[in-house]
Structure 1
Amino acid sequence: MSIVAVFDIGKTNVKLSAASDDGRVLETLSTPNKVKDGPPYRHHDLDELEAWLIDSLAVLAKRHDIGAIVTCAHGSGGVLVGGQGAAMPMIDYEQPIPADVDACYRTIVGPYRERASAIMLGAAHLARQMLWQEMHWPETFAAASAYLATPQYWAFRLSGVLSSEVTSLAAQSHLWASADGRPATLVESRGWQRLMPPMRRAWETLGPLKPELARRCGLQATTRILCGVHDSSANFYRYQAADLSDFIVISTGTWIVALTDRLGVDFDVELPGHSCNADVFGNPMPGMLTMGGREFSAVAAKASGPASLQAVRRIVASGTFALPTFGSDDGLFPGTADRGRLQGPLAEDEDVRFTLAMLYSALLTAACIRDLPPAGTVVLDGNFVVDPLYGAAVAALLPERRVLVSRSTTGTATGAAMLAAHEKRTSPVPLAAEAPDISDFPELSSYQRRWQALIKTMEQIS
Structure 2
Amino acid sequence: MAPIPVIAVFDVGKTNKKLFLFDESYHIVFERSARFNETVDEDGFACENLEALRLSVYDSLAEVGRLKEFDIKAVNFSAYGASFVYLDENGKAIAPLYNYLKPYPEDIKKQFYDTYGDEAQVAFETASPALESLNSGLQLYRIKHQKPELFKKIKHALHLPQYLSYLVSGEEVSDMTSIGCHTALWDFEKNDYHDWVKKEGIADIFAPVVPADHVSSPVISNKHYKVGIGLHDSSAALIPYLASFNEPFILLSTGTWSISLNPFDQSPLTAEELAADCLNYIQYKGKPVKASRLFSGHEYDQGIKQIAEKYGQNTIKYRNLAYDDNPQEDDVKAYYDLVKNLIAKQKISTGYVLKNAPVKRIFVDGGFGKNSVFMHLLAAAFPDIEVYAASMAQATAMGTALAIHHKWNSRPIPNDLISLKYYSAAGQKV
TM-score for both structures, normalised by structure 2: 0.83
1:381 maps to 2:365: yes
> Displacement of 1:13 after TM fit?
2.2
Q: Confirm whether residue 119 of structure 1 aligns to residue 130 of structure 2.
A: yes
1:50 aligns with 2:80: no
Question: Gaps (5+ residues) in structure 1?
Answer: 319-345, 443-462
Equivalent residue for 1:25, pick from 25, 28, 33: 28
Taking the aligned partners of 1:356 and 1:66, their CA distance within structure 2 comes to 51
Paired residue secondary structure (2:76): strand
- Please tell me whether residue 269 in structure 1 is matched to residue 281 in structure 2: no
Do 1:392 and 1:436's aligned partners in 2 also have CA atoms closer than 8 Å?
no
Counterpart among 68, 71, 74 of residue 80 in structure 2: 74
Q: In the alignment, is the contact (CA less than 8 A) between 2:387 and 2:423 conserved in 1?
A: no
Name the residue aligned to 2:260.
258
Q: Pick from 191, 197, 204 the counterpart of residue 207 of structure 2.
A: 197
For structure 1, which segment, 388-397 or 9-18, has the greater mean C-alpha deviation from structure 2 after superposition? 388-397
What do residues 297-349 of structure 1 show as CA deviations (whole Å, max 9, x unaligned)? 333448336331368854xx89xxxxxxxxxxxxxxxxxxxxxxxxxxx6xx5
Are 1:279 and 2:286 matched, yes or no? Answer: no
Contact 1:169 1:176 in 2 (8 A): yes
For residue 78 of structure 1, report the CA deviation from its aligned partner. 1.8
Counterpart of 1:430, as a letter, is N
Q: Say whether 1:306 aligns with 2:319.
A: yes
Query: Structure 1 pair 171/354, CA: closer, same or farther in 2 (3 Å)?
Result: farther
Distance 1:393 1:183, change over 3 A: same
The whole-number CA distance in structure 2 between the counterparts of 1:35 and 1:357 is: 35
CA distance in 1, matches of 2:256, 2:163: 22
Report if the CA contact (8 A) 1:2-1:66 is conserved: yes
Following superposition, the deviation at residue 255 of structure 1 comes to 2.9
Q: In the alignment, what sits opposite 2:301?
A: 297
Q: Is the 8 A contact 1:382 1:410 kept in 2?
A: no
Write out aligned runs for 1:268-417 (5 A). Answer: 269-271=271-273, 272-301=276-305, 303-304=315-316, 306-309=319-322, 313-314=326-327, 362-373=343-354, 374-417=358-401
Q: Residue 118 of structure 1 contacts residue 270 of structure 1 at CA under 8 Å; is this kept in 2?
A: no
Contact 1:279 1:285 in 2 (8 A): yes
SS of corresponding position for 1:12: coil
Per the alignment, in what secondary structure is the counterpart of residue 378 of structure 1? strand
1:228 to 227, 230, 251: 230
Deviations 1:191-220 (A, max 9, x none): 112111111111211342xx6xx44xxxx6
Q: After superposition, what is the alpha-carbon deviation per residue over 1:130-155, rounded to whole angstroms, capped at 9, x for unaligned?
A: 11222221111111011111111111
Q: CA deviation at 1:254?
A: 3.7
Please point out which of 92, 99, 104 is paired with 2:99. Answer: 92
CA deviations 1:237-275 (Å, max 9, x no partner) are: 212212423111122234322221223634353521211
Distance 1:381 1:42, change over 3 A: same
CA contact (8 A) 1:312 1:355 kept: no
Query: Offset at 1:66?
Result: 1.7
Alignment partner of 2:422 out of 436, 441, 444: 436
Partner of 2:309: none
The structure-2 alpha-carbon separation of the partners of 1:422 and 1:356, relative to structure 1 and needing over 3 Å to count, comes to farther
2 CA distance for matches of 1:28 and 1:355? 37
Cα shift readout 1:358-378 (whole Å, capped 9, x = no counterpart): 666555443332111341221
With over 3 angstroms needed to count, the CA separation of the structure-2 counterparts of 1:48 and 1:379, relative to structure 1, is same
Quickly say closer, same or farther: Cα 1:427–1:308, change in 2 above 3 A: same
SS in 2 for 1:172: coil
Structure 2 residue matching 1:91: 3-state secondary structure: coil
Aligned partners of 2:74 and 2:342: how far apart in 1?
A: 36
Mapped partners of 1:356, 1:64: distance in 2: 51
TM-score by length of 1: 0.77
SS at match of 1:11: coil
Distance change in 2, residues 1:114/1:101 (3 Å): same
Range that drifts further, 46-55 or 125-134: 46-55
Structure 1 distance, partners of 2:425, 2:288, is 37
Gaps of 5+ in 2: 306-313
> How far is 1:296 from its partner?
3.5
Q: Which moved more, 1:107-116 or 1:84-93?
A: 107-116
Root-mean-square deviation (Å): 3.0
* Contact 2:386–2:422, Cα closer than 8 Å, also in 1: no
Identity %: 22
Cα 1:23–1:85 shift into 2, 3 Å: farther
